[in-house]
A and B are shown apart, each in its own frame.
Chain A
Amino acid sequence: DQQVKQNSPSLSVQEGRISILNCDYTNSMFDYFLWYKKYPAEGPTFLISISSIKDKNEDGRFTVFLNKSAKHLSLHIVPSQPGDSAVYFCAASAISSGGSNYKLTFGKGTLLTVNP
């Protein structure tokens, strides 16, 4: 059962417009949410995060919104740039089943293409 879901495998937007990437989760124990960006042949790189006690976090062109009641978060990129084209992973943090560490649960990712 997928606890973190990114239902859109791909998204295409025009340069300068807003990109909105969505993520839903089912586990109410998640207390921290992160977005990672991944280029081909590279590992994911951290982009932005939000604690469950907040509903918005902004960093430059990137804003993450969290709606706890709906168990939904979204990443807004504005204005979108061609260099933003990559796979974006949503991840959620909770204590691992081993009990001694936090662990990340990832969504399947959304491929964002920003067209010039």
Chain B
Amino acid sequence: GAVVSQHPSRVICKSGTSVKIECRSLDFQATTMFWYRQFPKQSLMLMATSNEGSKATYEQGVEKDKFLINHASLTLSTLTVTSAHPEDSSFYICSADPGGGAWETQYFGPGTRLLVL
């Protein structure tokens, strides 16, 4: 099946630094990628929808200047957490949609665990 990778799988950083997370679709092209955030024992919460070559669409309450999303190619989207703080510590997971309109074709990455000290 289709594979989505994320890098890094874990990252620890100091407060005030920026962290970039990559999401790649390895064997298909993704017109749309999604970024989610999950706190312990909570749901996956959609942060933003990223369409290749255009600006991301952010969900209500998500700071676009805090969470910079770039979808420069059909196989790569990046999420940059700028000036990270301890409250940004979370599990970030991406998914990629090859298109066609069927939700079951949304493929998820393994996630990135971010810890901000």
With A43-B95, A44-B108, A96-B59 in contact, do A101 and B43 touch (Cβ < 8 Å)? no
Contacts of B49 in A (CB 8 A): 96, 98, 100-101, 103
Number of A interface residues, CB 8 Å?
28
User: Would you call A49 and B111 a contact (CB within 8 A)?
Assistant: no
User: Would you call B46 and A108 a contact (CB within 8 A)?
Assistant: no
Contacts of A42 in B (CB 8 A): 110
Question: How many CB-defined contacts (below 8 Å) exist between A and B?
Answer: 68
Chain B interface residue number, banded: 20 to 34
Query: Per a CB cutoff under 8 Å, which of A45, A102, A108 touches B108?
Result: A45
Report the bound CA distance from A108 to B32 in whole Å. 24
Task: Report A's interface with B, CB cutoff 8 A.
Answer: 2, 4, 9, 32, 34, 36, 41-46, 49, 89, 93, 96-98, 100-109
Task: Report B's interface with A, CB cutoff 8 A.
Answer: 1, 4, 9, 32, 34, 36, 41-46, 49, 51, 57-60, 93, 95, 103-111
